[in-house]
Chains A and B, each alone.
Chain A
Amino acid sequence: MTPIPVSQQKMDALRERMETAITRVGRLVRIMEVCGTHTVAASRSGLRSLLPKQVKLISGPGCPVCVTSQAYIDAVVDLARGGKVTIATYGDMIRVPGKRGSLEQARAMGASVRVMTSAMDALKLARAEPHTQVVFAAVGFETTTPPTADVLIRAERDGVANLFVMTAHKLVVPAMLALLASGEVQLDGFLCPGHVSVIIGANAYRPVVEQYRKPCVVAGFEAAQMLAGLTEIVEQTADGRAELGNVYGAAVRGEGNAAAQRLFDEVFEVGDADWRSIGVIPGSGLVLNAKYRKFDAAERFGVQFGPDNATPGCKCGEVIRGLQDPYDCPLFGKACTPQRPIGPCMVSSEGSCQAYYKYHRFRPDPK
């Protein structure tokens, strides 16, 4: 593992502040890192093992592939197998097992499935092959949504009639509020995602701070940044404060990225979204508005959504709700590995199961 070359002094100073604060709290502090990239960065940098034993980091519902409902996965696989369209998708999606196999398996049996690194590639494909019906599997949080919107605006402007999207775009803050409303998981605060916050702005977390009195601190992905964010949350907990913080001022402003937000508003409206194992959370997703509905692949190709039945035995649902650790899944590291993943939390490079498997496969001493 390559260490991140932040100044040792800075890390030491932060650890000292953290130690002082956690001593003042005098109990276990449970902090959710909402973002899958934070989950991976915390594991890869060794940050998890640097934290005092009384600070527990809990992974949240912030891995886009992991929270995509099984019903959506099955529907995209069925659409691919139907043979009428080419599915364009981000890489991790193709290995998620569905009821009738994964997209990768569908491709092996002749379906047309292309991996893209940008929504723009799906538009380029549609332009280059006007007789191909291209369906972009549009998953992801607010960082990933503006590109989808931009591509549809271009397609509308230029009359591109063979590009469609299966939208499953989700919103982070409603999911955080839903987790708190469910009362299932006990949390002291949230480490808020860095790059989602570039778009939505730090102020977007105000409802969490105000309605539930939970500290929310936005952080980037370096170990020192994450430690600074966590320290701020523990200090607030010690003081009995709940405030909005932002230690990623280099990239994140209070109001977010206005140009990106304008693109959302042009193409999408807030709607309900189906989350793996959580179910439908009202107002937690983005759906195409009336002007752009003609790009809706589900409508155009009569896609049927089945039940959200997870693979038997897979605990991804509990993992993304912060109720269980990957270690609690009996299949973890045995039947389920990154080579032969059973659930999306092991498929995705941002999934908790894959991060734990790669960086700390064995449960540490009990905390």
Chain B
Amino acid sequence: MCLAIPGRIDTLTNDQAEVVIGTNRYDVCTVLTPEVQVGDWVLVHAGYSITRLDEQDARETYALIQQVLTEPPQASQA
């Protein structure tokens, strides 16, 4: 339940962002990371960005994410 996944902020209005994770887009609330801007990489947990990430760090963990996203359907989303 505490797993967070890196994604890139594509649009941002106030504290509501659209974040691209893999090939999907998600609505993400950025209230916990007020400093973020469009183009930033963030870790997303349960619909909230919890920290900003370096692009390189984000890309490094990308393999892990892909693996998580291809887990069987009952894997936790939260």
Q: Which of A141, A144, A199, A349 has the most CB of B within 10 A?
A: A349
Q: State how many angstroms separate the Cβ of A156 from the closest Cβ of chain B.
A: 14
Interface contact B4-A222, CB-CB below 8 Å: no
From A65, A263, A348, B31 is in contact (CB under 8 Å) with A263
CA distance A152 to B70 in the complex (A): 33
CA distance A92 to B33 in the complex (A): 27
Given contacts A144-B78, A222-B64, A349-B75, contact A63 B1 (CB under 8 A): yes
Q: Is B29 part of the contact surface with A, judged by Cβ < 8 Å?
A: yes
Query: Which B residues are in CB contact (< 8 Å) with A198?
Result: 4, 43, 50-51
Q: Is A117 part of the contact surface with B, judged by Cβ < 8 Å?
A: yes
Hey, what's the 0/1 contact readout for B54-78 against A, CB within 8 Å counting as 1?
1001001101101100110011111
On B, residues with C-beta under 8 Å from A are 1-4, 27, 29, 31-34, 43, 45-48, 50-51, 53-54, 57, 60-61, 63-64, 66-67, 70-71, 74-78
**B-side interface mostly:** loop
Given contacts A64-B1, A140-B1, A257-B51, contact A91 B77 (CB under 8 A): yes
Query: Which B residues are in CB contact (< 8 Å) with A44?
Result: 67
From B29, B33, B43, A195 is in contact (CB under 8 Å) with B43
Interface contact B76-A90, CB-CB below 8 Å: yes
Interface contact A257-B67, CB-CB below 8 Å: no
Interface contact B2-A250, CB-CB below 8 Å: no
CA distance A92 to B29 in the complex (A): 22
CA distance A91 to B1 in the complex (A): 10
From A64, A120, A250, A338, B29 is in contact (CB under 8 Å) with A120
Given contacts A198-B50, A251-B43, contact A146 B76 (CB under 8 A): no
Interface contact B32-A146, CB-CB below 8 Å: yes
Interface contact B53-A36, CB-CB below 8 Å: no
CA distance A65 to B46 in the complex (A): 15
CA distance A349 to B75 in the complex (A): 5
| 7 A-B contacts (beta carbon < 8 Å) | A143-B2, A195-B50, A196-B2, A221-B61, A260-B32, A263-B31, A348-B76
Which residues of chain A from 139 to 157 have a CB within 8 Å of any chain B CB? 139-141, 143-144, 146-147, 150
Interface contact A143-B77, CB-CB below 8 Å: no
Query: Which B residues are in CB contact (< 8 Å) with A338?
Result: 74
CA distance A265 to B60 in the complex (A): 34
